[in-house]
């Protein structure tokens, strides 16, 4: 075992929606692009604007013995479209150059999302892991943490020593997974051998069916965790719900079980999990609330003050899945119906936020939503508005997935449109907690209806205010509707459940 192991830390975070516009370097720089020592500088701030798994990995390594971190590059593009292929090659070449220049390395930690595609390749995450494997050689530990929405390729498994996927959705265990990755690196450095077993099911689970507090996916995760607790030979159970809209041949619910000492215990558990997950497939069907019904509920809340308020999720326009966060279906329908004491957050419209900042607080003007957007979902909407609140948009998350991290929404303006307040932001992002209203002047406790642009992470940021039965998933058109039959899929392996109800799978030996 090396006395002072030299461990490279790097990462590439991108969840690619094939139907969203491609992203390049400036898009990553806007979310978070760190080179060399900048990674460690960020991690050591009180509220780092960097992935929590990275922070947890570095801190756990610091606390668990001597080591020399070799910070490389951490590029965060959040959820967006495919990565421009030219930029991806540039980024990977830069990473390779830095890894080679670092001299002999004892291991590598990747803080990765794991559902990226480029404009020309469906497995950039696998290519990046393979690049690192080529540089450090076949016996050195490479450990990667992954988002629960990762799509797993054979290359990602074979190029690494261990994949550690989140086990919560909403994701509130990024910290724990970073700690786990660091402990695994220590164990691998001590000479223990890991054996992964990988099984992929022809099951593309719609986003809203992948919650872990309940439902078929939660049950499967719990089964894996319970078995891991009982079996000492199991190092890790990673079950990835995956991200449908990356639209690749590697899509499908992925089970990666890693065992120590021998492959057998991992094999057995992976197979049991796959069988159980497949037997449960009919539970991965989606039922959303039609928009007409949602607006009726909002009107009803205005009439009947005794009823507790409701939280509506515009799940198909979730920026956390690469959507633009600017569709106007709910805003328009609620405005036309005269809904009051309602608020929407966040609405992504740079031009509108800038105009409101120029006009100033209290100004009345004709607000033109989506004057520059042209895709089929981002329709224009115009109405008289009053500027109620202006902010630089930098907040610290207080609850749920973003708690304790700095989030930069860019210049933000809260507009009053009829009885509706709309929080207009500059940096596209999903609603993660109640601060997305409160920090921008919306009194959450006085609202009858709240609308969030988010698929599910908001749940962990509002769970003190709304029980699950007070959360309504609304069916609107958008780039990430969980009704998967609506998309012109090109890459998905077919047949695949539930898009193809007759999809088949059998456990191989």
Q: Does 122 bind Zn ion (CB under 5 A)?
A: no
The dihedral of CA 100, 102, 106, 107: what is its sign?
negative
- Taking the complex as a whole, how short is the minimal distance between the CB of residue 252 and Zn ion, in angstroms? 16
Which one, of 55, 43, 97, 41, lies nearest residue 72 by Cα?
97
* CB contact at 8 A, 206 and 482: yes
Q: Does 147 bind Zn ion (CB under 5 A)?
A: yes
Which one, of 108, 128, 106, 109, lies nearest residue 117 by Cα?
128
Q: Which is nearer to Zn ion, 78 or 179 (CB)?
A: 78
CA distance 448 to 281: 36
- Taking the complex as a whole, how short is the minimal distance between the CB of residue 174 and Zn ion, in angstroms? 10
Q: Which is nearer to Zn ion, 266 or 319 (CB)?
A: 319
Residues 172-191 that bind Zn ion (CB under 5 A): none
> Of the ranges 142-150, 192-200, 330-338, 413-421, which one interacts with Zn ion (CB under 5 A)?
142-150
- Taking the complex as a whole, how short is the minimal distance between the CB of residue 147 and Zn ion, in angstroms? 4
- Binding mask 38-77 toward Zn ion (x if CB under 5 A, else -) reads ----------------------------------------
Which one, of 107, 73, 76, lies nearest residue 174 by Cα?
76
- Taking the complex as a whole, how short is the minimal distance between the CB of residue 149 and Zn ion, in angstroms? 4
* CB contact at 8 A, 76 and 39: no
- Taking the complex as a whole, how short is the minimal distance between the CB of residue 164 and Zn ion, in angstroms? 14
CA atoms within 13 A on the CB side of 88: 26
Residues 194-213 that bind Zn ion (CB under 5 A): none
Q: Which is nearer to Zn ion, 463 or 500 (CB)?
A: 463
Q: Which is nearer to Zn ion, 341 or 473 (CB)?
A: 473
How many residues form the binding site for Zn ion (CB under 5 A)?
A: 2
Q: Does 475 bind Zn ion (CB under 5 A)?
A: no
Q: Does 428 bind Zn ion (CB under 5 A)?
A: no
Which one, of 210, 233, 182, lies nearest residue 69 by Cα?
182
Render the burial of 285-302: b for 16+ CB within 10 Å, e for the rest. Answer: ebebeebeebbebbbebb
Q: Which is nearer to Zn ion, 161 or 169 (CB)?
A: 169
> Of the ranges 38-46, 148-156, 325-333, 484-492, which one interacts with Zn ion (CB under 5 A)?
148-156
> Of the ranges 38-46, 146-154, 226-234, 358-366, which one interacts with Zn ion (CB under 5 A)?
146-154
Q: Which is nearer to Zn ion, 196 or 242 (CB)?
A: 242
- Taking the complex as a whole, how short is the minimal distance between the CB of residue 324 and Zn ion, in angstroms? 18
Which one, of 477, 155, 176, lies nearest residue 314 by Cα?
477
Q: Which residues contact 509 (CB under 8 A, 6 or more apart)?
A: none
Which one, of 384, 407, 387, 385, lies nearest residue 396 by Cα?
407
Q: Which is nearer to Zn ion, 169 or 416 (CB)?
A: 169
- Taking the complex as a whole, how short is the minimal distance between the CB of residue 170 and Zn ion, in angstroms? 9
* β-pair type (342-348, 254-260): unpaired
> Of the ranges 143-151, 254-262, 265-273, 345-353, which one interacts with Zn ion (CB under 5 A)?
143-151
What are the C-alpha distances in Å from 461 to residues 306, 432, 448?
24, 6, 18
Q: Which is nearer to Zn ion, 8 or 172 (CB)?
A: 172
Q: Which is nearer to Zn ion, 110 or 369 (CB)?
A: 110
CA distance 112 to 128: 10
Q: Does 149 bind Zn ion (CB under 5 A)?
A: yes
> Of the ranges 98-106, 135-143, 149-157, 331-339, which one interacts with Zn ion (CB under 5 A)?
149-157
Q: Which residues contact 88 (CB under 8 A, 6 or more apart)?
A: 118, 121, 124
- Taking the complex as a whole, how short is the minimal distance between the CB of residue 172 and Zn ion, in angstroms? 11
What are the C-alpha distances in Å from 154 to residues 57, 145, 271, 446?
25, 16, 17, 51
First to last CA, the chain: 36
Q: Which is nearer to Zn ion, 79 or 136 (CB)?
A: 79
> Of the ranges 81-89, 139-147, 194-202, 255-263, which one interacts with Zn ion (CB under 5 A)?
139-147
- Taking the complex as a whole, how short is the minimal distance between the CB of residue 261 and Zn ion, in angstroms? 31
- Taking the complex as a whole, how short is the minimal distance between the CB of residue 169 and Zn ion, in angstroms? 7
Q: Which is nearer to Zn ion, 2 or 218 (CB)?
A: 218
Q: Which residues contact 3 (CB under 8 A, 6 or more apart)?
A: 66
- Taking the complex as a whole, how short is the minimal distance between the CB of residue 500 and Zn ion, in angstroms? 24
Strand partners, 165: 146
In the bound complex, which residue of the shown chain has the CB atom lying closest to Zn ion?
149
* CB contact at 8 A, 285 and 216: no
The site for Zn ion (CB under 5 A) is made up of 147, 149
């Amino acid at each position: 075992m090396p006395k002072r192991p030299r461990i490279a830390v790097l990462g590439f975070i991108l969840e690619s929606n094939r139907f969203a516009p491609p992203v390049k370097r400036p898009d990553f720089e806007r979310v978070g692009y760190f080179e060399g020592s900048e990674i460690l500088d960020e991690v050591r701030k009180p509220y780092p604007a960097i992935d929590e798994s990275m922070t947890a990995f570095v801190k756990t390594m610091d606390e668990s013995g001597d080591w020399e971190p070799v910070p490389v590059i951490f590029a965060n593009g959040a959820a967006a479209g495919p990565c421009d292929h030219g930029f991806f090659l540039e980024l990977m070449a830069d990473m390779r150059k830095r890894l080679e220049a670092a001299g002999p390395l004892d291991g590598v930690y990747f803080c990765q999302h794991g559902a990226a595609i480029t404009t020309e390749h469906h497995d950039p995450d696998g290519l990046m892991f393979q690049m690192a494997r080529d540089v450090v050689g076949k016996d050195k530990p490479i450990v990667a943490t992954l988002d629960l929405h990762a799509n797993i390729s054979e290359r990602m498994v074979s190029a690494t020593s261990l994949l550690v996927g989140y086990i919560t959705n909403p994701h509130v265990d990024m910290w724990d997974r970073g700690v786990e990755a660091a402990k695994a690196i220590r164990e691998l450095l001590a000479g223990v051998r890991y054996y992964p077993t990988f099984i992929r099911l022809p099951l593309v689970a719609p986003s809203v069916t992948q919650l872990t507090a309940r439902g078929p996916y939660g049950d499967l995760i719990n089964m894996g965790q319970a078995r891991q607790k009982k079996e000492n030979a199991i190092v890790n159970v990673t079950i990835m719900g995956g991200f449908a809209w990356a639209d690749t041949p590697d899509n499908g619910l992925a089970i990666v079980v890693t065992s120590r000492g021998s492959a057998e215990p991992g094999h057995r558990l992976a197979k049991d999990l796959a069988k159980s997950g497949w037997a449960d497939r009919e539970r991965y069907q989606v039922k959303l609330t039609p928009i007409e019904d949602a607006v009726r509920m909002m009107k009803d809340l205005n009439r009947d003050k005794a009823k507790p308020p409701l939280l509506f999720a515009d799940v198909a326009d979730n920026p956390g899945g690469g959507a633009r966060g600017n569709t106007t279906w709910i805003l328009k329908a609620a405005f036309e119906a005269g809904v009051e004491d309602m608020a929407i957050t966040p609405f992504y419209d740079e031009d509108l936020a800038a105009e409101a900042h120029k006009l100033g607080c209290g100004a009345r003007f004709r607000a033109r939503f989506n004057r520059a957007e042209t895709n089929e979902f981002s329709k224009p909407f115009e109405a008289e508005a009053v500027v109620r609140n202006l902010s630089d948009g930098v907040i610290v998350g207080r609850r749920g997935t973003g708690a304790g991290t700095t989030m930069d929404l860019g210049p933000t303006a809260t507009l009053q449109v009829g009885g509706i307040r709309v929080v207009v932001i500059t940096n596209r992002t999903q609603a993660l907690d109640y601060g997305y209203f409160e920090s921008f002047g919306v009194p959450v406790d006085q609202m009858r209806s709240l609308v969030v642009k988010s698929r599910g992470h908001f749940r962990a940021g509002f769970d003190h205010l709304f029980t699950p039965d007070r959360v309504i998933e609304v069916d609107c058109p958008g780039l990430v509707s969980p009704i998967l039959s609506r998309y012109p899929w090109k890459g998905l392996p077919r047949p695949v459940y539930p898009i193809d109800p007759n999809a088949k799978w059998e456990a191989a030996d």
